Amino acid sequence: MAKMKKPVFVTAGYYTVSLGTGRKEFRPKEKRPGVEHYIKEAGEASLAQINDPANIDEGVLGSFMMSRYVRQGNRPGFIPMIHPALVNKPCTGTEGACCSGGLALTVAAKTILADVADTVLTVGVEVQNSVKAVYGADILAGAGHYASQRKKGHAHFFPGQFSDRAGAYFAKYGHDDAREAMALWYVNAIENARRNPKAQEYHNTLEDLFAVGMTPPNPKTFCENINYYDCSKVSDAGTAIIFASEEGLKKLGVDKKDAAQVVSYGQAEADITKLPEDLTVMWTTKAAVQQALADAGLTIDDIGVFEFHDCFSIGGLIALESVGLAQPGKAPEYIKSGAIKIDGKTPVNTSGGLIGYGHPVGASGVRQAVDIWKQLTGKAEDFQIEIDPKRPYGLSISMGGNDITVVSMIFKKTS
């Protein structure tokens, strides 16, 4: 069933610096900003792009583990903090692990489609550098089935799960080409992040990125099949974007050229209590993308720019195959062809993705929407690509857990 019964748009996107290791201003032993800072900075910057904050009808805030990282619950209460005009407006909180921000996008879209609001301020946030890495790994394990998987899992829970995916991929399709492609995924992420002043890896000055990406995994200190450079970083950041109906854009004083249209979305869920049967496929990602494409009447070849949820480089390879850009086992060949590069046929993660920009968990899905909005409206500055008029679409994939909760959204250039 087609979901988009009327036009829905996004506009006024913004995200903060992704703060964490790699940023020159990051001081791990000093007090750092809390969630309030990131929510307020992102929200205020988004509202500054419209005529009057009072024209926002509702708000939604996506975040994963505020209750554990900063001992804070009740997400909706932070939306009115952004501006007095939002006090007493309906607000909602979303949580779906790393897809918490992606779920916030669907809630905003559904609210517009339900005709109960014309404008929805959508925010994502996470502060993760509040705990040591070993405790953070335990917190993040809540994105899987903690009762059945945590005790038997790796000390670094999610790196361990994606190391298992890499091992399965190596066994099925061969090690060397895949390992090189994973290193090239890292290279692409850092090269793109160096174009984005807000990226966590913006200050990365390593000369031979490929050699770094090829660092042999060390199972004694980390994981068997991936290295540290295959991983997204622990990050603190906030991001915001406004969803609006056609009438909503008029209320906000926003011209359509400064908005992108949401043409479809797909949302899929796997059973969190079960591990994937085939680690070389992301079945839930595949289902969500197929839904989005079918509802839009498009094929994967119609998409001009992509935002992939590359929490780990092997996830990028498997996602390429799961969505149909590459055939099974052919992702390494696709990556080596240069197709995913910023000047390639199918640019992926032009601002750095999760590995390059950072992965503030609950903010990542919203950040992806912001970057596609930037690309489609010509606001991406140093990482702007040329949008092919024959492929004026951008597709995002927000994934929670080990391919458990997935939202894919397709956007279209409006002019």
Fold of 154-232+263-413: Peroxisomal Thiolase; Chain A, domain 1 (3.40.47)
The percentage of residues in the chain with a pLDDT greater than 70, rounded to a whole number, is 100
For residue 35, pLDDT beyond 60 = yes
At 167 the three-state DSSP class reads helix
* pLDDT tens track for 311-368: 999 999 999 999 999 999 999 999 999 999 999 999 999 999 999 999 999 999 999 9
Contact yes or no for 105/114 (Cβ under 8 A): no
pLDDT, average across residues 106-129: 97
Angle, CA of 149, 152 and 154, to the nearest 5°: 95
Label residue 1 by pLDDT band (50, 70, 90). Answer: low
Which of 357, 362, 400 minimizes the C-alpha distance to 78?
A: 362
Angle, CA of 274, 135 and 205, to the nearest 5°: 100
Q: What is the DSSP letter of 348?
A: B
pLDDT attached to residue 43? 98
For residue 254, pLDDT beyond 80 = yes
pTM over 0.85: yes
pLDDT, average across residues 249-263: 98
Label residue 156 by pLDDT band (50, 70, 90). Answer: confident
Distances (CA, A) of 73 to 77, 285, 289: 9, 29, 31
pLDDT attached to residue 152? 79
The pair of structure tokens assigned to 178 is 């895949």
Label residue 151 by pLDDT band (50, 70, 90). Answer: confident
The pair of structure tokens assigned to 101 is 């921000």
Mean pLDDT for all residues in the chain:
96
Which of 146, 92, 102 minimizes the C-alpha distance to 273?
A: 146
The residues facing 413 across adjacent strands are: 260
Q: What is the DSSP letter of 70?
A: S
pLDDT attached to residue 325? 98
Query: CATH 3.40.47.10: which residues of the chain?
Result: 8-132+234-259, 154-232+263-413
Higher pLDDT pick, 285 / 149: 285
For residue 2, pLDDT beyond 70 = no
CATH number of 8-132+234-259: 3.40.47.10
pLDDT attached to residue 25? 95
